[in-house]
Amino acid sequence: MLGLIVLNIYPMIDTIKQSFCKMGDFGRGSQFVGLDNYKKVLGDSEVWQALWNTIKYAIIEVPFSVVIALLLAVLLNKKIKGRSMFRTIFFLPMVVAPAAIAMVWKWLYNSNFGLINNIFHIKVNWLSNPNLAIYSLAIIGIWSVLGYNMVLFLAGLQEVPKDYYEAAALDGANGFNQLIHITVPLISPTIFFVLVTRIIGAMQVFDLIYMMIDLNNPAWKKTESLVFLFYKYSFEQNKKGYGATVVVVLLVVIMILTVIQLIGQKKWVHYE
């Protein structure tokens, strides 16, 4: 409880309070300005662009990371040779430092010497093309979280009784039908949990953009997320009150998306 209050609840309350103020250096000399920051946010085209970039990233990353992780979990839940090794390999990105991930992928995406361009004999600016950069970042995001999602799905699959699959096989159901009519309904609570946590995680994307896209990159405006905008305003431009407002807007968006999912889950999530 102490850790929750100090590390989560108090900072959230303090951030909301700061969003109604104009902050001085290092948060000193705060001046209450009411809703001025929120009015400014509503008319700030950069905030709207960053919000769209964030939503677009989530739309690309979340479905692919969930579906691919589910298929991998189904495959690795079977008794195949080297199952433990494959599980470890897929989970490794979760324990690798984001800086190391960014360094490796920057070389893979390098337009002149990158492995991807050399293998396919193409010349593509993966990170500097404004129309392509967000997709390139989403690919890294998908790759990074596959292992974590897969482990959660594996935990759900372990709870599914084998009798259902045996009965379905006797009735002539193939693997695809078993996946759709047995696996997905029975692990729907796990799928719901993964969806909620992944959407929240994708909406908070920051480290990939910070380490892979610099301010001189032509694709900068098309990849800047709300969290990065909060960082830029708060720590680079020292506008902590306005930065707090941006992150409160993100909090509201995430809450709305989560409430929509909580309402919608009643139609497809089965807890019994």
Tens-level pLDDT at each residue, the chain (272 residues) = 898 888 888 988 988 998 898 876 555 667 888 899 999 999 999 999 999 999 999 999 999 999 999 999 999 888 788 888 888 888 888 888 888 888 899 999 998 889 999 999 998 999 999 999 999 999 999 999 999 999 999 999 988 888 888 888 888 888 888 888 889 999 999 999 999 999 999 999 999 999 999 888 899 999 999 999 999 998 888 888 999 999 999 999 999 999 999 999 988 898 86
Q: Does residue 64 come out as left (phi exceeding 0), alpha (psi in the -120 to 50 range) or beta?
A: alpha
First CA to last CA distance, the chain: 31
> Which CA distances in Å does 236 have to 100, 134, 209, 222, 240?
24, 23, 16, 20, 10
Q: Identify the CATH homologous superfamily for domain 34-267.
A: MetI-like (1.10.3720.10)
Q: Is the whole model's pTM more than 0.85, yes or no?
A: yes
